[in-house]
Amino acid sequence: MFARAVCRFAFFGASSFLASCGAADRSLPITRIEFRAVPNLVETCTKPLTSWAVSMRETGDMGTANCGQSVLFVKLYPYATYTFDLVGYSDTALCWESACVVQALPGTTLPDCSAHQSDLCKL
């Protein structure tokens, strides 16, 4: 079991959306989970995906981005397991969704939730 992480969100450069989750112990190794729209929701960014979001079930925190941007959760507890919901939109229509459980390893974890992806709009 792990303590609840408190997350803050901010844009990180032009290519990533940052979700900063404060771990209480600063001596823990840097632990991040980075989500990318490809392959989690779509095969390429040329499809009509206009925006997407990732939310962490444990905290309810969420980050949004466009197809070419990553959503990055940082300052997580190493080896803790987190559950995420991913949704993708074509304009205002919900067209893709996925969910997965991810173990946060020290460094940056790049999860692939595509096995659980549903194409709701069949675009």
E strand intervals along the chain:
6-12, 16-22, 31-35, 51-56, 62-65, 70-74, 81-90, 93-103, 107-109, 118-119
Residue 7 has pLDDT above 80, yes or no: no
For the stretch 32-51, pLDDT in tens is 999 999 888 888 887 788 99
d(CA 61, CA 77): 15
CATH for 6-119?
A: 2.60.40
Q: Which residue has the higher pLDDT, 52 or 26?
A: 52
Residue 18 has pLDDT above 70, yes or no: no
Residue 1 has pLDDT above 70, yes or no: no
Residue 8 has pLDDT above 90, yes or no: no
For the chain, the structural domain boundaries read: 6-119
For the stretch 63-94, pLDDT in tens is 999 988 999 999 899 999 999 999 999 988 99
pLDDT at 24: 52
